Chain A
């Protein structure tokens, strides 16, 4: 009888030991997976930031934005405002096209007392072009550009260029 009790105790001891060991491994695995996932989130954020930074320096050369030769001499950082205004009429089509959350252009000179969002009705008496989103989304990175358009005076047209910044955002929640 005593031997039986002793055996049962040993079995219980082994079982408890094994359960504890299994729980320990599960905890270690959970900790490791948690650590990996947090690292992955940081990696995703870093990649998104890198994407936005690299894109913003090159987007002015993209065919949907660039002036080309329509304003005389070619300028690498020249954005065609007339073309961009047409682009915002089709913003749904271009939502995921550049791989960033938003693109905006803000005219910085001449300065307006407050932000006036550009529409077909008020253009060019405005200073903010919302290309993808109406609201502010995520973190923005920016680059200086020349914003050019055709202007009319009397019967003649001429080229008008102003200083602006082009902003691309990442990290939309």
Chain B
């Protein structure tokens, strides 16, 4: 073989390798770009989920390609962070989950990793006792939840108000569809056990506490770690809003508008909030505040 042939073969091979390398890099970049766009888009799509006077809202998110949405919660800083990453299946491999999109005013209660093409997104107003935020729930459309012995109120709410078609209601756990996530409301051997009178949910052998409907749904649909972290973030917002109301209380006092609502105590309790176990005590402060504001001559909220 002549030298020119050998030379051409070596350089040709090098060019081919480089071309393949850059193509792979470009596909990765495309995946990352698409993932980042989807994450940001989800965050933006969550803006219309802000409820006004209505209790809840539901929407369906379609992401075209089979995707993996990762829900990351950070509870450090003034408000903590809601982080989303999205990777997509390209040639059988997950690509582009390395761009993290941050939101400070969103609270997503879901499993840590959500897989699918279509997702149900619904929000539920959270008041403590004034409006704090809208809790957002994301569930893959093909993940079936089997509610065992759910009270009629919950059945009606999920079917008629939220229109969630991936929730089935049965009277016994043996009637649950295969591969569904069983949720027991009145005792039984389910993956998720909800004790409505004790106000706690047991999931993956971890017990989390709730107060009110919004947090009850949050404890069912989210990973226990995500639940605790988001709850801490929600309490940070409670503390900041309580501070705002405390300052407003002082300010409107100059206008002879007097309020006896002790928002300062709520501020102190919310600031020292550690875990859902503290919910019961802080809820007493909330109930007291609710009463005082309801009958006040000068309402703070």
Give min CB distance, B146 to chain A, whole Å: 34
User: CB distance B44 to A93 under 8 Å?
Assistant: no
A63 near B33 with CB under 8 A, answer no
A64 to B12, CA, bound (A): 64
Contact B50 A58, beta carbon cutoff 8 Å: yes
Q: Check A47 against B41 for contact (C-beta < 8 Å).
A: yes
Contact A152 B247, beta carbon cutoff 8 Å: no
The answer to the question of B162 belonging to the interface, with a C-beta cut-off of 8 Å to chain A, is no
Name, among B7, B48, B79, B244, the residue most crowded by chain A CB atoms within 10 Å (CB to CB).
B244
Judging by beta carbons under 8 Å apart, are B255 and A63 in contact? Answer: no
Q: Which residues of chain B have C-beta atoms less than 8 A from A108's C-beta?
A: none
Query: Does A47 lie within 8 Å of B40, measured CB to CB?
Result: yes
Query: Given the complex of chains A and B, what is the CA–CA distance between A89 and B248 in angstroms?
Result: 11
The answer on a CB contact under 8 Å between B15 and A21 is yes
Partner pick for B3 among A11, A63, A86, A89, CB 8 A cutoff: A11
**B41 CB to nearest chain A CB (Å):** 7
Q: Which residues from A are CB-within-8-Å of B248?
A: 80, 82-83, 86
Residues A76 and B252 in contact, CB atoms below 8 Å apart: no
Which residues of A are found within 8 Å of B154, using beta-carbon distances?
none
User: How many B residues have CB within 8 A of the partner chain?
Assistant: 51
State whether the Cβ of B199 lies closer than 8 Å to any Cβ in chain A.
no
Q: How far is the CB of B290 from chain A (nearest CB, A)?
A: 12
Distance from B288 Cβ to chain A, minimum over Cβ atoms (Å): 18
The answer to whether the Cβ of B11 comes within 8 Å of any Cβ in the partner chain is: yes
Nearest chain B CB to A20 CB, angstrom units: 12
Q: Are A70 and B299 in contact (CB under 8 A)?
A: yes
Q: Are B50 and A61 in contact (CB under 8 A)?
A: yes
Q: Does A62 contact B (CB under 8 A)?
A: yes
Is A172 part of the contact surface with B, judged by Cβ < 8 Å? no
Interface membership of B159, Cβ < 8 A:
no
The interface-forming segment of A48-56, A127-135, A137-145 is A48-56
Q: Fill in one digit per residue for B277-301: 1 if any A CB lies within 8 Å of its CB, else 0.
A: 0000000000000000000001111
Asked whether any CB of chain A lies closer than 8 Å to the CB of B276, the reply is no
Contact of A76 among B52, B104, B132 (CB under 8 A): B52
- Per-position 1/0 for B11-36, Cβ under 8 A of A: 11001001100100010010001000
- Please determine whether B52 and A150 come into contact, CB atoms closer than 8 angstroms: no
B117 within 8 A of A: no
B48 to chain A: which residues have CB within 8 Å? Answer: 54, 57-58
- The reply to whether the CB of A68 lies closer than 8 angstroms to some CB of chain B is yes
Q: A11-B7, A83-B248 are in contact. List 20 more A-B contacts (CB 8 A).
A: A11-B3, A14-B8, A15-B11, A18-B11, A25-B15, A40-B33, A47-B37, A47-B40, A55-B47, A61-B50, A61-B52, A63-B130, A63-B241, A69-B301, A76-B52, A98-B105, A99-B105, A152-B254, A156-B256, A157-B255
The interface of chain B, by Cβ under 8 A from chain A, is 2-4, 7-8, 11-12, 15, 18-19, 22, 26, 29, 33, 37, 40-41, 43-44, 47-48, 50-53, 78-79, 103-105, 130-133, 237, 240-241, 244-245, 247-248, 251-252, 254-257, 298-301
Provide a sorted-by-A list of 14 A–B residue pairs whose CB atoms are within 8 angstroms. A25-B15, A36-B29, A51-B44, A54-B48, A58-B47, A58-B50, A63-B131, A68-B301, A82-B252, A83-B244, A96-B104, A150-B252, A150-B298, A156-B256
Chain A interface (Cβ < 8 Å from any Cβ of B):
7, 10-11, 14-15, 18, 21-22, 25, 29, 32, 36, 40, 43, 47, 50-51, 54-55, 57-58, 61-64, 66, 68-70, 74, 76, 80, 82-83, 85-87, 89-90, 93, 96-99, 150-152, 155-157
Query: What 4 A-B pairs are tightest by C-beta distance, nearest first?
Result: A54-B47, A152-B255, A68-B301, A86-B247
